[in-house]
Amino acid sequence: MNLWQAIVEALESLYSNKLRSFLTILGIVIGVGAVIAMMAVGAGAQETITGSISGIGSNLLFVIRGNPTVELTRIEPLTSEDAEAFLDQFQAPSVAGVAPVVNGSLVVSTAGESTRTTVYGVTPAYQQIRNYGLTEGVFISEEQLLGRSSVALIGPDTAEKLFGRREGLVGETLRIEGQPFRVIGLLETKGGSSFGSQDDLLIIPLSTAQARLIRHPDNRLDMILVQVISPELTTQATEEIAQILRSRHRARIGQDDFTIFSQDDFVDLAKTITGVLTIFLGGIAGISLLVGGIGIMNIMLVSVTERTREIGLRKALGARKKDILIQFLTESSLLSLFGGIIGIGLGWLISYVVGRIAVANNTPFTPQVSLDAILLATLFSTAVGLFFGLYPANRAANLEPVEALRHE
């Protein structure tokens, strides 16, 4: 028996039991569809998170107070003087820019609306370092920083909550913890990130925040953002900043009271988390494929029992063990292959629906259906068909002709 003949006979057998074949294929369809959809969701989540981290800025280092890996008796605060020291080209030639930051969750209100949002106190350098664009207005100036001006830039989501619109806001007045501030600019949409929404925020001068709203002890900073000249100099810049802080804080060897993260650290962490999540979701979906494979084995065993006399007759007429084996393996493989092809379409459809739901909820998330996921799911479904079809096929091939012909 050649392969083409085996395929034709397998199709005829499957067609003669349409309902049974459909129900068997359905298990594979659900399994393959689930695998593709879960892997697409995982890949989309990874792309969204890494894209959001990249959107924070370019070549950034994040310097924060404290060091969770070391037990410290005293932790020096990060100060504006520390940030200024990073700009010393003799001590830190790899540094392109520095932006000290304080932030807090504060109540912001207008005449008719009120909300709680994150308020950032920053310097003019923050705009370039964080890569913030404006749809209208201007960013904070040096004069406003020195004068502790009551001015604010508003994120698009915050603008929607407070004013019900995202344009024509320059000159409007809002209150932060009851204190009036004049809107001087509207920030461009950046979307969400692993750090929370980048569109639901207010930005005010650092000096204003420290003097009137976010009063930390020792006038300390929450974070210092450092922009490196190029990605290749990230490691060098990290060491330069560490040496400056060790000197200024008089930290002993191995007792750093600060932590420095790079964007690559966050990206690697995000990829690790989403990678594990994708494997976990794919594994759960893969279980349904195994269930579908067990369904194939069950149906093929029933088919062998029902066709025992047919098998005996064929063997009596000269069919070899290999011919019977090929026929039943072909049937099980076709069941899984058809299920895999339909499952690919189902997986793509589920991914598309998830993406549309995300768009409808203003979530910047798009599932990524990759060729690798399609090939993996197809090969796995075919392998499942072969594996779970092997036992029934082997059982059929080993039937004795005389005993098979006596079967009722």
The residues spanned by each domain of the chain are 3-53+268-406, 77-250
407 pLDDT band, cuts 50/70/90, is low
pLDDT at 120 over 90: yes
Which amino acid is it at 402? Answer: V
53 pLDDT band, cuts 50/70/90, is low
Could you write out the three-class secondary structure of the chain? Answer: CCHHHHHHHHHHHHHHCHHHHHHHHHHHHHHHHHHHHHHHHHHHHHHHHHHHHHHCCCCEEEEEECCCCCCCCCCCCCCHHHHHHCCCCCCCCCEEEEEEEEEEEEEEECCCCEEEEEEEEECCHHHHHCCCCEEEECCCCHHHHHCCCCEEEECHHHHHHHHCCCCCCCCCEEEECCEEEEEEEEECCCCEECCEECCCEEEEEHHHHHHHHCCCHHHCCCEEEEEECCHHHHHHHHHHHHHHHHHHHCCCCCCCCEEEEEHHHHHHHHHHHHHHHHHHHHHHHHHHHHHHHHHHHHHHHHHHHHCHHHHHHHHHCCCCHHHHHHHHHHHHHHHHHHHHHHHHHHHHHHHHHHHHHHHHCCCCCCCCCCHHHHHHHHHHHHHHHHHHHHHHHHHHHCCCHHHHHHCC
Counting residues of the chain whose pLDDT is more than 70, the rounded percentage is 82
- At 141-183, the pLDDT tens digits run 999 999 989 999 998 888 888 888 888 888 888 988 888 999 9
pLDDT of 89: 86
Rounded-to-integer distance, Cα 195 and Cα 56, Å: 10
pLDDT of 194: 44
Q: For 24-28, 118-122, 171-175, 325-329, which range has the lowest pLDDT when averaged over its residues?
A: 325-329
Q: Which of 28-42, 185-199, 308-322, 361-375 reaches the highest mean pLDDT?
A: 28-42
pLDDT at 400 over 70: no
